A and B are shown apart, each in its own frame.
Chain A
Amino acid sequence: MLKFKYRPRELKLNAKLMRQTELIMGMPITVQVLGQKAAEGITAVFDYFRAVDERFSTYKPQSEISRINREEISASQFSKEMKEVLALSEQTKQETGGYFDIRKPDGALDPSGLVKGWAINNAALLLQKQGYKNFFIDAGGDMQTLGQNEQGQPWRVGIRNPFNTSQIIKALRLSGQGIATSGSYERSAHIYNPKRPDDPLDEIVSLTVIGPDVYQADRFATAAFAMGPTGIEFIEKQKNLEGYMINRHGLATQTSGFDRFVI
């Protein structure tokens, strides 16, 4: 009964929350939508992620990125989405002083570090265009929030304990922001210091970034993590970004405006 008491009036009629998880792009994607047509919105989001996976997955031999890496198609034949992602990757490389680079040490292109945040953000825009005002998209721990949760409160997001994945070490309230965490799990996948690929990145175990959207948060979290211990300073210098960095001793460093999101 208490729940209803605090629920805002506008949400009273359609406050039913739908939540669904699917494994796409090699990671669990969870979509939560509040509203009467929540199911349709969720279906649209999953369809979109599948389309992105078909195009950008380096694990799928017939994906566009795989064909590009095999030099089967020339630049003029690239899709609109591919051109956009490659342009954004180049822009991000410039903005991060070279620490974000989709070109792997072996020369192949792997834009997955950018595509994830970009795709989550696009899925969120897609929902927003269709009139959804309260939703949450979580793809492998990177998230976009809008509006409120079922309780009529900002979405509550925990930061995972990098030393014990069943625990959280911070609880945050987000409404309209994106959040992304880079960490040691990703090291083998696509995080390395592009300037010194052989350097082990073991000083920092987790770096969480909150941004105006998940695209911004994700790409800067990836780049800042590759910088090692100075990554948090890089986040501090970015307008509209806040960060929380954890080193291997369990000592956390946070940016000056991070506290306003902490519950």
Chain B
Amino acid sequence: MRKYALSATVGLIFIFYLVFAKKQAITPLTVPSLPSNQIQIADNNPPLTQDPPSSTQPTTQPVAQPSSPPPTPTKTPTKTPAPAPTPAPAPKPTGQYKDGQYTGSSADAYFGNVQVAAIISGGKLTDIQFLDYPQDRETSLRISQEALPILKQEAISVQSANVDAVSGATQTSQAFQQSLASALTQAKN
């Protein structure tokens, strides 16, 4: 069983390889303007994919062909190894993201709102556009022109640590004074 499975996978891999090899063989041909001879070679490729052993030959064949111009054959073999991985993601648009432009929600930065759009192409993030940026106020504008601050932010959380004293805004409000006065009155027995 193992033998069959192994040979089957090897065969499959080979077939896949051929498909890619064929693809890559086509692309170089379309780009440069080549003699009709070369185009014929490309046409030969599809049938070759069906026959595994001979498939390796077409890629090498152009090199061997003396009649065709020398630059083109060299191109095909050099490109054979590289395109093998590249075509793989291309046909599958899944990748990490779907292509398109996505607008983010407006986030409340402490100096104003920030809203961006993400541009996805080829399944990858390729650009970020700032749709909203703090510049409504004079002070914010000043900061925007400088580097964006990267100060650490956190939600405050109550601590239970013992401390010698507490720092807070000076309680000079009338309410505070009144409250303190009444407390002191009570404290006086």
Contact = CB atoms under 8 A, between A and B. Distances in A.
A and B interact: yes
Interface of A: 23, 26-28, 30, 32, 116, 136, 138, 140-143, 149, 155-162, 164-165, 167-171, 179-186, 188-189, 206, 208, 227-230, 232-233, 236, 245-247, 249-256, 258-259, 263
B111 A171 contact: no
A233 B167 contact: no
A185 B151 contact: no
A157 B167 contact: yes
Contacts of B154: 251-252, 254
A228 B139 contact: yes
Given A157-B163, A168-B159, A171-B159, A230 B170 contact: no
A160 B111 CA distance: 23
A186 B170 contact: yes
Nearest to A32: B164
Interface of B: 108, 110-112, 139-140, 142-143, 149, 151-159, 161-174, 176-177, 180, 184
B163 A141 contact: no
A181 B158 contact: no
Which DSSP category, helix, strand, loop or mixed, fits chain A's interface? strand
Given A167-B158, A168-B161, A254 B172 contact: no
A155 B111 CA distance: 33
A18 to B, nearest CB: 13
B167 A230 contact: no
Contact of A141 (B111, B153, B167): B167
Given A158-B163, A168-B161, A185 B171 contact: yes
Nearest to A203: B110
Given A171-B163, A250-B155, A141 B110 contact: no
